[in-house]
Amino acid sequence: MYDIAVIGSGPAGISASINLKILGKNFIWFSSRDISKKVSQAQLVKNYLGLSEISGAGLEKSFLEHCEIMGIKPEEKIVTGIYETDGHFTLLAQDSAYEAKAVILCIGTEDKKPLEGEEKFVGRGVSYCATCDGFLYKGKTIAIYCTDKKFEHEIEFLCGIAKTAYVFPLYKNYEIKSENARIILKQPLRLSGDTKLKKIEYKDGEAEADGLFILKGAVSPSTLVRGLAIENGSIAIKRDCSTNIAGIFAAGDCTGRPYQYAKAAGEGNVAAHSAVEYIANLK
């Protein structure tokens, strides 16, 4: 079991990981190899103290170098569910489960709003993992809602299994080659069904499907952790970055404005210290 699991690829997640490394903790950091798009795509960052007039790409480079020097490598998986079990947490990340005594959520703000009905149908037609759940839909009709080109290979993978796939590619320059893919260039609005998902509704239309795969960088905080307190759309934290659930901490943009690199790095730093204190006080 890990002491602490950190989730997120922005400055908050990196800052938390660096601090945990220095504090000698046994931790796992779930992140993509590239750090948050928000950082790398920034044109010019002037207010990150100590790195004046730096490009987003330059800032990304500095952050990645810092990880490399510290010997910190991310686990490149997307965590889709966190469950409390016997005083610790089980994290589901694609096809694997991980255990940790405490969790630090640094999951940013992008792509987070769940679809209407999404939470209701998780595990009852809604899946976040092509490789885990794809084979449940062999020869069936599925829908795929994807917000990032980097998941396009998973679209092709799913199309190879399903009979028909309604694909909602919510990103630029999609290139989907599967012949059974039916592209719908609309934002899905609502999921409906009885006990199981039946329909994906979008503006001026609907698609009937046995399952919906949601392929995005992260799921909404309240889908990720049931019962997590949300305030004005952000994870509610105290000054020590603790949430309403003992053992779960949060840092960075997911805790609300201002959306700033220094604020995120600072909260990552604080959350790491608070999480370490938390596990030290566990029996």
What is the contact mask toward a copy of itself in residues 62 to 101, using x (rule: CB under 8 A)?
A: xx-xx--xx-------------------------------
Minimum distance, C-beta of residue 22 to a copy of itself, in the bound complex (Å): 5
Residues in the chain: 283
Contacting a copy of itself (CB under 8 A), which of 15, 109, 127, 242? 15
Q: Which is nearer to a copy of itself, 116 or 240 (CB)?
A: 240
Binding segment toward a copy of itself, per CB under 8 A, in 44-52, 181-189, 195-203, 219-227: 44-52
Binding segment toward a copy of itself, per CB under 8 A, in 88-96, 177-185, 196-204, 233-241: 233-241
Contacting a copy of itself (CB under 8 A), which of 223, 270, 275, 278? 270
Minimum distance, C-beta of residue 19 to a copy of itself, in the bound complex (Å): 5
Q: Which residue has the tokens 């149908």?
A: 121
Per CB under 8 A, does 280 bind a copy of itself? no
Minimum distance, C-beta of residue 15 to a copy of itself, in the bound complex (Å): 5
Contacting a copy of itself (CB under 8 A), which of 77, 197, 268, 278? 268
**Residues near a copy of itself, by CB under 8 A:** 11, 14-15, 18-19, 22, 46-53, 59, 62-63, 65-66, 69-70, 237-239, 256-258, 260, 262-270, 273
